[in-house]
Structure 1
Amino acid sequence: MENNVIISIQGRQSFEDTEDETIELVTEGRLESEGDGAFTLSYQESELTGLEGTLTTFQIERGRITLLRMGSVNSEMVFEEGRRHLSMYNTPYGALSVGVNTKKMRSELSPAGGNIEIDYAIEIDHAVAGQNLFRIDVREKRPVLRQ
């Protein structure tokens, strides 16, 4: 089953010796129920995020969330609580090896929506480059009633 949804994303990045950076984005996307508690959530990035021309997809399974980006930026990040995953992050300037160390993760989704929270550290060359927190709220897109 596939639904048109409204996706609200709040992201916070913390770097040593700097003030936290928070971004908020509200966009339309698609939520597909894959059965057995698995979901696929996808949306097109915009100029606002600096990733225009990129499709972002979250593959949500029990105990694992995979973030895929394809287009102007190509990357894959795997989140599993208490585990570290190495990923390649391809940019127009070259590729880097990035470690993703997930501290906490939770997903409460149904075909009608729900929320996802991922708290993780990014490592570049085995050194922590920043702490990140994603909060994603998903709700069904309601038709606009005209009077």
Structure 2
Amino acid sequence: MTKDVLLTISGMHYDMTGIPDEDGSEEENGPIEVITPASYYFKNGKHYIVYDEVVEGMPGTIKNKIRITGSQMLEIMKSGLANTHMTFEKDKINMTQYETPYGELLVGIHTRDLRLKETEDRIDVNVSYELDVNGDKVADCSITMQVKSHGAAAGGAATPS
């Protein structure tokens, strides 16, 4: 894997509040997808991906660091406009404080599934989890990440690590 990578993160969440949307439906919210250049390095058996996130309508950025420890753990650390350290471990519940410009939330992450596929120039991560905010279950969520070396062919099959 090269130092310069292209990171694609797609997130989806399904509302668990039972409160219908404006149109009367209780369906999933649309996917959120971010595609951004990032830096990659591998140290002490862990993958690291670092990138800056621009927040629309606000000055400043959020510095993001993603740490992948095999197929056991995914961590997302944010600093700047938002501050948190979210930990995803299969079949575990992890609590964290999530500081935003609008206030602080206590977030619980119950990771149901965590999958990792690696090849020489690509890493694919899939996470399925339940999200609690301030003790209330708010959504079933999924995150899909793809880390790809600059210049790597699009698509291609990844093999498990």
TM over 0.5: yes
Task: Give the superposition deviation at 1:137.
Answer: 1.0
Preserved CA contact (<8 Å) 1:32 1:111: no
Which of these residues, 78, 91, 97, is aligned with residue 106 of structure 2? 97
CA shift digits 1:3-62 (9 cap, x unpaired): 1001111111110343212111211001111143x1001211124597960011111113
Aligned counterparts of 2:36 and 2:100: Cα–Cα separation in 1: 23
1:123 alignment partner in structure 2: 132
Equivalence map 1:1-147=2 (5 Å) = 3-16=3-16, 17=18, 18-21=26-29, 22-36=31-45, 38-47=46-55, 53-62=61-70, 63-110=72-119, 112-142=121-151
Q: Percent identity?
A: 20
RMSD: 2.3
Aligned counterparts of 1:26 and 1:93: Cα–Cα separation in 2: 25
Moved over 4 A (4+): 48-52
Aligned counterparts of 2:50 and 2:151: Cα–Cα separation in 1: 18
Q: How many residues align?
A: 142
**Tell me, which stretches of 5 or more residues in structure 1 are unaligned?**
none
Preserved CA contact (<8 Å) 1:33 1:111: no
After superposing the two structures, state which structure 1 stretch, 110-119 or 79-88, moved more: 110-119
Preserved CA contact (<8 Å) 2:2 2:149: no
Give the alignment's TM-score, normalised by structure 2. 0.79
> Are residues 98 and 72 of structure 1, via their aligned partners in 2, closer, same or farther at CA, if it must alter by over 3 Å?
same
Preserved CA contact (<8 Å) 2:106 2:135: no
Aligned counterparts of 2:62 and 2:88: Cα–Cα separation in 1: 20
Aligned counterparts of 2:84 and 2:121: Cα–Cα separation in 1: 28
Residue type of the partner of 1:95?
A: E
Give the alignment's TM-score, normalised by structure 1. 0.86
2:156 alignment partner in structure 1: none
Task: Give the superposition deviation at 1:125.
Answer: 2.9
Query: Which protein is richer in strand relative to its size?
Result: 1
After superposing the two structures, state which structure 1 stretch, 75-84 or 19-28, moved more: 19-28
> Are residues 125 and 10 of structure 1, via their aligned partners in 2, closer, same or farther at CA, if it must alter by over 3 Å?
same
Aligned counterparts of 2:150 and 2:142: Cα–Cα separation in 1: 25
**Tell me, which stretches of 5 or more residues in structure 2 are unaligned?**
19-25, 153-161
